[in-house]
A and B are shown apart, each in its own frame.
Chain A
């Protein structure tokens, strides 16, 4: 989902920056609030960030013969909300843009918007919905991870389609980009879902109180 440096026209770079910045600021305020008011959450917050660090560094092979990486944003999304996830994702994306030339500074706004905002937000709202339906917790977290991951790539495809309409328009190029990203991503998102379900199960057994506190139980 990293759009390469310089591969979005200037207009779209600015456009996505403007949409992303408020969420990142909101996330920064959330984090400083957690540090002030709920210091017992600090370690779990670090773990949520670490989960993004690990999973987004793994370039995994898919049955399509390409590699792509999971996003790891599900944990932060359900524990601390999409805005905090936007901040954590920004840290990872800046690291990758500056040190790895993976993604870029010009495309950072777009990448934060897909991986840090829309993906986690969809996961977060799906979580709320499944929770109200009293679906099993394992199913809830699996769905969150899969949806956050896949939606990130749907948004990247849309961002590229908007910037590069094919002769048949935005819709045609959206389908072209989805064909590259989404098909490769489906098995990886399922893998991410399984790993996240395991990790969340472990987490909720080792720190039940902190998880309950975050869910408002």
Chain B
């Protein structure tokens, strides 16, 4: 059976979304803390008395951090969207010319 590309893409995306939904559903009480933060407490457990010797020059408040993470994703998504649109218009123009 040969599936259309878009069907395959949609199935793949659906599968990944399902994985994230499952992760949330099986852990109703989890805090979903970042592993990067989790490691800090492990370092202090293995090496009691270790304290960070250099503080971030600037640390955003949580809400601002969320904004800046979204900005990071938006920059990337903008470039990819530009590319997809560019290719689509290009192939369309090509077809009209033929």
Contact = CB atoms under 8 A, between A and B. Distances in A.
A61 B54 contact: no
A176 B46 CA distance: 10
Interface residues on B, range: 35 or more
B31 A65 contact: yes
Nearest to A179: B42
A5 B55 contact: yes
A53 B27 contact: no
Interface residues of A, number: 69
A2 B26 CA distance: 26
Nearest to B43: A164
A66 B38 contact: yes
Contacts of B39: 3-4, 7, 160, 177, 180-181
Given A50-B79, A54-B73, A61-B24, A191 B19 contact: yes
Contacts of B78: 50
B12 A195 contact: yes
A215 interface: no
Contacts of A26: none
Contacts of A181: 35, 39
